[in-house]
Amino acid sequence: MKDNKIKVLITDPISDAGISVLKNADISIVYNTDADKKELLNIVSEIDGWIIRSGTAIDEDLINSAKKLQVIGRAGVGVDNIDIPAATQKGIIVMNTPDVNTVSAAEHTIGIMLSLARNISIGNQRLNAGNWDRNNLIGTELRNKTIGIVGLGKIGREVMSRCLSFGMSVIGFDPYIADNIFSQDEVKLTDLDTLTRQSDFITVHVPKLESTDNLFDLERIKMMKSTAMLINVARGGIINEDDLALAVKQGIIAGAAIDVFVKEPIEKDHPFTSIDNILMTPHLGASTKEAKEGVSVTICELVRDYIIDNKLSSALNIPIADMNILKQIQPHLLLAEKMGIIQGQLAQGAIQKVKVNVQGLFDDIKPFMLSFIKGLLNDLIPERVNYINAEFLAKERGIIIEYGANNEDGSYTNLIYSCVVSGNVEKKLEGSVFDGNQLRLVNILGYDMDINPIGNLLFIKNEDVPGVIGKVGTLLGKNKINIGAYILSNTSEMDEAFAVIRLDAEVPSPIIQLLVDIPEIISVKQIIC
């Protein structure tokens, strides 16, 4: 007799409390944390849900073999081990638990800051070595000190509230937060240089991006007070490790507390290991019983609710639950997300307003807006952005959102229009889907184009004079950067020309600067989509 019971596969360890959630819903559990890919290919054909942590990689082969699979649940934040495009194509929802570890990370930040300020770790080490070194371990109070918080997402705000309770003054830097979000009694928003110079403690809570890579290098660290301390519970690489080691050794700053590293686990000869005033923990920001149990219970509840009741309360890849409609509009949703990604890179500071209009698509316009916001915020904020939380996260940052349908006749059977206001400057994009699934940007910043929004692109505005293409091509060629396509705008205004160059690889910043230095070049912007 065929077993019609709902089956959920679990291939990484989760808490008993999470497993109980599934058992209490009369869901059959297939628990196998040792299966290799070959075994999994045989197992997945009959499962309805799949729960993993970081130890299981779900690729396209496994997804294609999972004929009944409805949902993949990641107990935790990172989903790099899941082929989300393949899952989306198959109509499989991917969920995670991005907010469960917020308090744990914030508390760890406070914990290592206190330990650093009061020499707790060093004191323990010296006592264990038989040394009563009280007079050389005089600490500093947090009260009346200034803490600079770089990144004011959920974790940054939790840190802020705890620092206020210590009687600290809080200053913050987050270029994607509107000025009116916080009261002056909570936090004073400022630029990064001012924060660096004025803070007694600095803690970073930003994602690891090109813009945040080595954000605190030796040059920036030298801007800090000699008594200041630097804390990182976010991502390795935001603080340059060699520069930090040198700065603490030479007394440029008083100390640091680091939970995350460029390479984990660290090597025995890591530069931090021989420095007393650098406190290290082995990536413990989310390592609490509460967080670990929380992610297990939360993901099991999400998977249960979707499989049994079609309740979609969290999803990384699907804005609507109707699979039939989804298949029809998926290319347009992807286009909207790509446009958001581009607009995020074009933004000049805090985003004030977003407008999305669609033409020739379905009556329900909101999924396209959500898809756009998801792309827009994805690399701008530390939180994982999905279709469920995108609108909330945008409004939380003071972004005004307008969206609707455009019923006017136009040149395209379908069109997505976006306008983003940042730094009081408007940036406009228009896109369309050709022949069912071919994504195109048809207008960029007021210039008519026909561009597939994929890969490494350069947006170049220049004086409309002869010789510019040759200069640009020669410079890129000399630096061994291959041009895949050089696409000129069909329109020109005010004696300016606009081009999009498709490249085989990302262009290093020094070469971008060489392009900017060409006399006829007005602006250069690298876009990675």
**434 and 499 belong to one structural domain:** no
3-state secondary structure of 34: coil
Query: Are residues 345 and 214 part of one domain?
Result: no
Are 299 and 53 within 8 A, CB to CB? no
Return all residues near 216 (Cβ < 8 A) that are at least 6 apart: 202, 204, 230, 238, 239, 240, 243, 244
Q: Final residue of a domain: which of 405, 427, 454?
A: 454
Instruction: Please check whether residues 310 and 330 belong to one and the same domain.
Output: no
Q: What is the pLDDT of residue 490?
A: 62
pLDDT at 44: 95
Return d(Cα 224, Cα 214) in angstroms, integer. 15
Domain boundary among 299, 318, 337: 318
CA-to-CA separations, 407 to 359, 361, 372, in angstroms, rounded:
6, 10, 20
Averaged pLDDT for residues 301-316: 85
Same domain for 94 and 131, yes or no, is no
Token pair for residue 177? 């937060």
Are the C-beta atoms of 68 and 90 separated by less than 8 Å?
no
Q: Which of 454, 484, 500 is the last residue of a domain?
A: 454
> Domain range spanning residue 468?
455-529
- Domain identity same for 304 and 426: no
Most confident range (mean pLDDT) of 31-40, 69-78, 323-332 is 31-40
Can you give the three-state secondary structure of 362-379, one letter per residue?
CCCCHHHHHHHHHHHHHC
Residue 128 burial class via C-beta count within 10 angstroms: exposed 0-12, middle 13-18, buried 19 and up: exposed
In order, the DSSP letters of 393-428 are HHHHTT-EEEEEE--S--SSSSEEEEEEEETTEEEE
Same domain, 412 and 442: yes
Q: Are residues 123 and 266 in the same domain?
A: yes
Q: pLDDT-based confidence at 236, cuts 50/70/90? A: very high
Q: Kindly report each contact of residues 119-124 with a partner whose C-beta sits within 8 Å and lies 24 or more positions away, as own/partner.
A: 121/279, 122/276, 122/277
199: CATH: 3.40.50.720
Nearest C-alpha neighbor of 223 from the set 243, 241, 237: 243
More confident residue, 238 or 436: 238
The 3-class secondary structure across 281-321, one letter per residue, is CCCCCCCCHHHHHHHHHHHHHHHHHHHHHCCCCCCCCCCCC
Q: What is the mean pLDDT of the chain?
A: 90
Rounded to the nearest 10 degrees, how much is the dihedral formed by the CA atoms of 305, 291, 93, 437?
Answer: 150
Q: Which helix (H) or strand (E) holds 342?
A: helix 323-346
- On whether both 203 and 339 belong to a single domain, the answer is no
pLDDT at 1: 40
Asked whether residue 84 falls in the same domain as residue 109, the answer is no
DSSP assignment string, 179-210: TTSS-TTT-EE--HHHHHHH-SEEEE-----T
pLDDT of residue 323 exceeding 90: no
User: Does 474 or 99 have the greater pLDDT score?
Assistant: 474
Q: How many domains does the chain have?
A: 4
Two structure tokens written together for 529:
């989509």
Return the beta strands (E) in 142-275 as ranges.
146-150, 169-173, 188-189, 201-204, 229-232, 255-258
Q: Which two tokens stand for residue 179?
A: 């000025």
Give 49-108 pLDDT, tens digit per residue. 999 987 899 999 999 999 999 999 999 877 878 998 788 767 788 998 877 889 999 999
Across 183-187, average pLDDT:
86
For residue 227, give every residue at least 6 positions away whose Cβ sits within 8 Å of its Cβ, in sequence order, or none: 140, 200, 253, 254
Return the CATH number at 503: 3.30.70.260
Q: Does the structure show a pLDDT above 60 at 177?
A: yes
Give kind and range of the element (H or E) at residue 18: helix 16-24
Question: Which pair of tokens denotes residue 513?
Answer: 């600067």
Residues 100, 103, 106, 112: what is their CA dihedral angle, to the nearest 10 degrees? -110
Question: Hey, what amino acid is at 93?
Answer: I
pTM greater than the 0.85 cutoff: no
**22 and 110 both lie in a single domain:** no
| pLDDT of res. 343 | 96
The structure tokens listed for 216 are: 């605190």
Active site residues: 235, 264, 283
- How far, CA to CA in Å, does 529 sit from each of 95, 342, 436, 440, 446? 23, 7, 20, 13, 20
For residue 362, what pLDDT is reported? 67
Tens digit of pLDDT for each residue in 330-383? Answer: 889 899 999 999 999 999 888 999 999 998 866 778 889 999 999 999 888 877
Whether residue 177 sits in one domain with residue 141: yes
Instruction: Decide if 362 contacts 329 (C-beta within 8 A).
Output: yes
Q: What b/e readout covers 241-260, taking b as 16+ CB neighbours within 10 angstroms?
A: bebbbebbeeebbbbbbbbb
Q: Which are the contacts of 110, defined by CB distance < 8 A and separation ≥ 6?
A: 159, 162, 163
- The CA radius of gyration of the chain, in Å to the nearest whole number, is 26
Q: Tell me what pLDDT residue 328 has.
A: 74
Higher pLDDT, 91 or 279: 279
Instruction: Give the highest mean pLDDT range of 51-60, 172-181, 253-262.
Output: 253-262
| Residue 353: Cβ within 10 Å count | 15
CA pseudo-torsion sign 185, 186, 190, 192: positive
Same domain as 505, residue 386: no
- pLDDT for 166: 97
